[in-house]
Amino acid sequence: MNYKKIVCIVIFALGIAGIIYAVHGKYRIASARSDVSSTKNFFQDNPVSNFVSGSLNRRIDNYARQANILLAVGIVFVIAGGTGFVYLSRKKKR
């Protein structure tokens, strides 16, 4: 097998791993958001609770941004690796 095909397979596999990790992270982020909102609902109309929940939501947003970037990079890697492998497989040998 050509080393270029191997590189394409590795890029494809990294993309799949990135997508899986990003989806898992998004699930964890959704769980954290629900925990924060349920805790905030327990202490309604409390200024300290509003401050703490706002701070926690900002921290969660940072992780959500990272998960979205990882998902986008994973999709790009899957497309690039798959396209490269198909292109190299169909390329006529001289």
pLDDT in tens, 48-57: 666 666 777 7
Residue with tokens 């947003």: 61
Across the range 79-86, mean pLDDT stands at 94
User: Per residue in 9-65, pLDDT tens?
Assistant: 999 999 999 999 999 999 998 888 887 777 666 666 666 666 666 777 788 888 889
- Distance (Å, whole) CA 24 – CA 13: 17
Domain that holds residue 9: 3-90
User: Is residue 40 a contact partner of residue 19, using CB atoms and an 8 Å limit?
Assistant: no
Token digits of residue 19: 């997508």
In the chain, the number of structural domains is 1
Q: Which of 86, 66, 79 is nearest to 11 (CA)?
A: 79
Alpha helices in the chain (DSSP H): 3-42, 47-90
